[in-house]
Amino acid sequence: MNSIYLKKTALLLTAVLTFCPCLQAQEILSLSLDDCRKQALQQSETLQQAGNKLQQAELDQKIAAAAYLPKLDGSATGTYIFPDMDMMGMKLQMRGMYMAGISLTQPLYAGGKIRTGQRLARIGEQAAREQVRLTQAEVILEAENAYWTLIAVKSKVRMLEAYHAQMDSLYRQVETSVQAGFATDDALLRIESERSEISYQLQKARGGANLCRLSLCRLLGLNPDIQIEPADTAIHISAPEKLHADISNRPELHLLQQQAKAAHEQIQMKRADMLPTVGLVAGYTYYGNIKMKGSVATANGVMPYTEEFRDGLGALMLSVQVPLFEWGAKLKKVKKAQLEAEHANLEMQKNKRLLELEVQQTLQNLNDGYRLVQTAELALKRAKENLRVTENRYSVSMAILTDLLDAESQKQQAESNLIEAKTQYKIYEADYKRAIGAL
């Protein structure tokens, strides 16, 4: 009887754990910063689109290179012509006439369009590669920001939980003193007020941590129910070294340069429209089912006559096309392309200065961020020392409870400031690497 009962209980517990997700253990995934980078790059739809653009640009270059090669075409035609045509008393009949042939076309000169088109395709491929680099940097930067922010908020949660535990311990101590008549209820009320404030801040921090986790899950393409545990539990800061403001490796600058080159090549493309084109065409055509019907006089009288034509013809042609006059439209197109090239050069110079300014700003942010971390560390050191002294004085009744709570609050605020400063420094560091094209 007991065995049957135990089996039923085990089955019931299994069913409850299976159908109640709230009772199942949530999946915990430990990720390092490098893991987040790789996962974000793999899951980014924007990066996949940039990769598709690069493949298209590579195909465009192959298409442009094929313009040098001869083109082979085939054709087949069936024709039914009526009525029959009268030719010197005979009937030319083309009912069901057919023709089939092939032609080989070799461009000899196209005014430079073929070479210009290939150069434009090469420029397009280079631009697509730089766009992939730019997208990768943006994805990595977003992933790093989300990762460090999650670490910061989780650190705040742990700090507030420890602070809350300290307040609970202090509350129990003061409660014992009140019961013994060594303290008043006002002290308990003050501690209770502080505990309520900590609980409020802790709830906000936990909500923020969950939002950061969801944001990181979205970037990494993970299920929102997965609990991410950063492998970098502490934020380590080192002094910035070997900083420079060189933007020569910046993908945005390379994109601007490629755009200027493309605009310059468009001038040559428009000029090519004003030049002659030369092509060589070789072909062979086979025709049949063409009949000539009539009558001829013979010794025996007039006899009907029918002859069918079937044969093949070969041809070799040289084609030269020279544009003569179009009211100056093509010349105006050249001038327009020149203005567009000048506009692209000016745009590149303007944006280059903006990129240089952006690097200077990231350099300043990085240096300021490091000094802010040093200031926060010093403030925390002083807050800890102040708390230690205040606790000693309070233990011998030389400080009141308000002083102790203020010291605890100052230490908690100093810890919070240090976490924020370290996180912001890491974000500044990633932004600087992006600004010099090193991310």
Q: Tokens for 396?
A: 């011998």
Beta-strand (E) ranges in 204-300? 227-230, 277-298
Residue 25, pLDDT score: 47
Give 383's Cβ-side CA count (13 Å radius).
Answer: 20
* CA neighbor of 439 nearest in space, from 352, 113, 428: 428
Q: What is the pLDDT, as a whole number, of residue 13?
A: 42
Q: Which CATH architecture has domain 26-323+347-435?
A: Up-down Bundle (1.20)
Contact call for residues 312 and 285 (beta carbons, < 8 A): yes
Going along 169-276, which residue ranges are E strands? Answer: 227-230
Among the listed residues 208, 195, 203, 216, the one whose alpha carbon sits nearest the alpha carbon of residue 154:
208
What is the rounded distance in angstroms from the CA atom of residue 429 to the CA atom of residue 238?
11
Output the CA–CA distances (angstroms, integers) from residue 365 to 222, 240, 385, 427, in the order listed: 32, 11, 30, 10
Domain boundaries defined on the chain: 26-323+347-435
Tokens at 245, concatenated:
């403001």
Rounded CA separation 281/266 (Å): 28
Residue 345 contacts by C-beta under 8 Å, 6 or more apart in sequence?
260, 263
Under a CB-based contact definition with an 8 Å cutoff, are residues 29 and 226 in contact? Answer: yes
pLDDT per residue rounded down to tens, the chain (439 residues) = 444 444 444 444 444 434 444 434 457 888 899 999 999 999 999 999 999 999 999 999 999 989 889 999 999 999 998 888 888 778 888 888 999 999 999 999 988 899 999 999 999 999 999 999 999 999 999 999 999 999 989 988 988 898 888 888 888 888 887 787 766 778 788 888 888 988 999 999 999 999 999 999 999 989 988 998 888 777 888 888 888 888 999 999 999 999 999 999 999 999 998 999 999 999 999 999 988 888 877 777 778 878 888 999 999 999 999 988 888 898 999 999 999 999 999 999 999 999 999 999 999 999 999 999 999 999 999 999 999 999 899 888 888 888 888 888 899 889 989 999 999 999 999 999 999 998 8
